[in-house]
Amino acid sequence: MAEYDDYDAADTGEDVVDVRQMFLDWLTSHLSTVEVVGTKPTPWCDQWWLHPEVVARFKALWHASMQADASVMDGDAGAVSSWWINHWDRHAAVIFDKSNGPFRDCDPDQGHFHRRKNGTVRIVPASMPPDNVEL
């Protein structure tokens, strides 16, 4: 999460804004208000930041949440509801999917990639199409 480093405002005379801490504060506050634990254990990894997809999804949710909050201030009373339906519900369905989600091999008690035999992640290889293929 290196891109969430402190904003260096020394040259402008502004206060330093710790964007990383703002994100983490939003995330912990939000996760403490949602009911993601059901009757069966919900997939979770205490080292969620080691899952690039999860970080990207939480970051997208945070940005969309800030945009929804700003829209409410501009008079769009349904913006927060829309955020829940169009952002949180869709991302949470993927993040917490027991079979195919990014935490599927992690265990809340046993840890990061506990269910993997070798503890490594296979990344999908990205190949570039030949120049003559129209995209």
DSSP letter string over 25-36? HHHHHHHHHS--
In a domain, 24, yes or no: no
Tens of pLDDT, residue by residue over 19-30, are 999 999 999 999
In a domain, 57, yes or no: yes
State the total domains in the chain: 1
State the residue range of the domain holding 108: 45-117
In a domain, 113, yes or no: yes
**Residues in CB range of 67: below 8 A, 6 or more apart:** 79
In a domain, 129, yes or no: no
In a domain, 70, yes or no: yes
Instruction: Return the DSSP state at 107.
Output: B
Question: Residue holding tokens 């949180």?
Answer: 88
Average of per-residue pLDDT values in the chain: 83
In a domain, 30, yes or no: no
What is the rounded CA–CA span in Å between residue 20 and residue 4? 4
In a domain, 111, yes or no: yes
In a domain, 36, yes or no: no
47 in helix, strand or coil? Answer: coil
Q: With pLDDT > 70 as the criterion, what percentage of the chain qualifies?
A: 79
Tens of pLDDT, residue by residue over 27-82, are 999 998 886 666 667 788 889 999 999 999 999 999 999 999 999 999 999 999 99
